[in-house]
Structure 1
């Protein structure tokens, strides 16, 4: 199952203060941060997993960065396994709106999920989630993401660990109203060189394309008269820059 690739469709739909939708096709990696994939030399520019892109950006490995954040939250996996859903650097560039870590204890039981959110201002924030049996979790919004929403409300997330399919949902609730929904839907493919090359040819420079799509989405909303909310000063978490 790991590593794996998920060609997927990302849908952002906002219903307030103005209805708008953005649909984007990309592909995501499912990896074990303790055993990252080793690609043939010529394909390495298409996928690089760099610890500098996650958490505080100073840890020698992805796993030590994750463990440092969990320790600050009072969580010890005792060496249990982790699966990570993310985008890799492509030709040296990456933008990860959302990276997810499913964290298990040594028996394989799910302990928690870490949702690492990046905004377009180079800031990041992690949410520690405790999904219920239906893989649902709620958390108060604490991080400025969209320039059109203030930092208030609650996220309600459905984050089942991907298997043959990828099916994630994040909703933002403000004053009892669902104002934003993001979904990610995809199907697993083996992380072979031929599959990676095929996806890279169909979605060239996927990370830059995703970043550009989000920025164009913001420009369209601004031109439609949506007011920009002030961005508060970012306060890094312990273990997160």
Structure 2
């Protein structure tokens, strides 16, 4: 059930497991918002340092709203979002900063029929890339990897993603498949709570400076892998946001 702001919070456990060329795993706890792009939460001013949904940091470029920015991409792929609903799972901007390694959009038509899922991947170099997915009944889809994320993997292989629309439970899985193996898996698991002032304050107390912590944690893990001698793959030239890609 959405809270007073028409949104939900998920306190999450994020896990990354790398099996090749070395085994490395870590977990991180944070919280994410599930919001309707047509009804973004407007928090009272004392709480706004904890969560805002400005277009800057979420949309591809300043100007259009989050909703309009997504519509423009989907229009180019022949998908009409007019009158439909878009749910977004992401970090809010907190204390002036936001970083979302993965933002997920679930898009449906005016009758509630699922149209597509968009997985927007962000890297720590300021780039982002959208994958347009048409999941099966279990929320599973595949897409060729087209974007440089980790410096320890080249831009090849395929993603197999299980991104079912969250309900009481959030359960997302992303596998990277290369040469018949799965050298990397990321999972996100969480429990739904109504987005209220009390819930937000509790989540922020449990996970202080959460958006800064996510970014710092990724960089720390990268340093650890580099110190273990993993070779770095050069970053290819890539626009900050290429076209939405469809498998």
TM range (shorter): over 0.9
Give me the whole-angstrom Cα distance separating, in 1, the residues matched to 2:82 and 2:43. 29
Q: Secondary structure at the match of 1:201?
A: helix
Q: Which residue of 2 aligns with 1:84?
A: 88
Q: Does the CA-based 8 Å contact 2:37-2:66 persist in structure 1?
A: yes
Please state how far the C-alpha of 1:72 moved relative to its aligned partner. Answer: 1.9
State the match for 2:212 in structure 1.
208
Q: What do the CA deviations read for 1:133-188 (whole angstroms, capped 9, x no partner)?
A: 12110000000000000000000000110000000000000011011000000000
Which blocks of at least 5 consecutive residues in structure 1 are unaligned?
Answer: none
Partner residue in 2 for 1:56: 60
TM-score, structure 2 normalization: 0.94
Does residue 226 (structure 1) correspond to residue 230 (structure 2)? The answer is: yes
Contact conserved, 2:170 with 2:191, CA < 8 A, in 1?
Answer: yes
SS of 2:199's equivalent?
A: helix
> Number of aligned pairs?
240
Work out which of the residue numbers 155, 166, 172 in structure 2 matches 1:168: 172
Q: Is 2:130 the partner of 1:155?
A: no
Unpaired stretches in structure 2, ≥5 consecutive residues: none
Deviation at residue 199 of structure 1 after TM alignment: 0.7
Deviation, 1:59, is: 3.3
| Counterpart selection for 2:242 from 232, 237, 240 | 237
Give the structure 2 partner of residue 109 of structure 1: 113
Q: Does the 8 A contact of 2:120 with 2:130 survive in 1? A: yes
CA displacement at 1:61 relative to structure 2: 1.2
Residue 45 of structure 1: aligned partner: 49
**Structure 1 stretches of at least 4 aligned residues deviating more than 4 Å after TM superposition:** none
> Which range moved further: 170-179 or 56-65?
56-65
For the pair 1:141 / 2:154, whether they are aligned, the reply is no
What is the TM-score of this pair, normalised by structure 1? Answer: 0.97
- 145-154 vs 56-65, which moves further: 56-65
Contact 2:129-2:244 at 8 Å conserved across structures: no
